[in-house]
Amino acid sequence: MAPTLLNVADLACRRGGRPVFDGVSFALGAGELLALTGRNGSGKTTLLRALALLVRPETGTILWRGADVQEDPETWRGRLAWLGHLDGLKGDLTVGENLSGAERLRGRPAADDRLDLALVAFDLAALAHRPVRTLSAGQRRRTALARVMLTQAPLWLLDEPMNALDVPAQQAFRTVLQRHLDQGGLAVAATHADLGIPSTRTLELAAPRKALV
C-alpha cells in the first residue's frame, strides 16, 4: 500500500445552518482515486470545496504529508488542480490563451511542449486559436480538463468531470486521469458516472453519515 499523502479526518460542513455531512474520513496515497457519490444535495461539491479551502469545515482536519493544510493555504492551493461545475474559462480568450494564462497565474508559464501535449490529449489543437465563447459545451469542458492536466499538480479535485463530454472525449479524460495516477498523482472526483478507472475507491455521501468502500 502506498504511503498516505492526503489524510482527511472527521470532516463536517454546514450550509445555511444545516449539516451537509459529518464524520467524513479517508486517506489517499500516491496513485489513488476517490470517487464521491451520492444523491444531489448530499455534499459532494461541498466536500470538494472544503478540500480546496473554498469553504471552511465546521470540524475536522485535512493533512498533507502529516501537515495541516490550513497552516499554509497558499502552498496547499499550489498543490491542487481544481475543476468545478463551471469551466472557469474566459470567453473572449482563445483556447490557447486560456491555458497559458492559467499557468501564468500559477506562477509557472507553460512551456510550448507541455501546452501542445495538453491540446493534443483532448483533441483541441485545431481549436487552439478559437475564442472559447464560440465553442460547444463539450469543447469548453475539454479545455477545462486540459487546464487541469497542464498544472501537473499532485492532487486533482474534479466536480463531475465528464459533464458534456462525448464518448471519445470521455476516453481521452480516462487516459489522462490514468496517466496522472500512474505517475503518482491523486484525485478526488464527485461523479454520477463511472469514471472507468478499475482501482477507484468510493465514498458515498448521505448527510450526515458516510460509507467508504
Over the stretch 166-203, which tens digit does the pLDDT of each residue have? 999 999 999 999 999 999 999 999 999 999 999 999 99
Q: What is the pTM of this model?
A: 0.94
> Are 5 and 72 in the same domain?
yes
> Are 195 and 101 in the same domain?
no
Predicted pLDDT at 61: 98
Q: Is there a domain that residue 20 lies in? A: yes
The domain boundary, picked from 103, 132, 152, lies at: 152
Predicted pLDDT at 112: 81
Q: Is there a domain that residue 34 lies in? A: yes
Among the ranges given (38-42, 94-98, 161-165), the one the predictor scored with the smallest mean pLDDT: 38-42
Q: What is the DSSP string of 47-76?
A: HHHHHTTSS--SEEEEEETTEEGGGSHHHH
Confidence of residue 17 (pLDDT cuts 50, 70, 90): confident
Over the stretch 44-97, which tens digit does the pLDDT of each residue have? 999 999 999 999 999 999 999 999 999 999 999 999 999 999 999 999 999 999
- Cβ-based neighbours of 14, under 8 Å, separated by 6 or more: 20, 58
Domain span holding position 28 = 1-79+154-213
CA distances from 23 to 11, 19, 147, 209 (A): 5, 11, 32, 7
Residue 110 has pLDDT above 80, yes or no: no
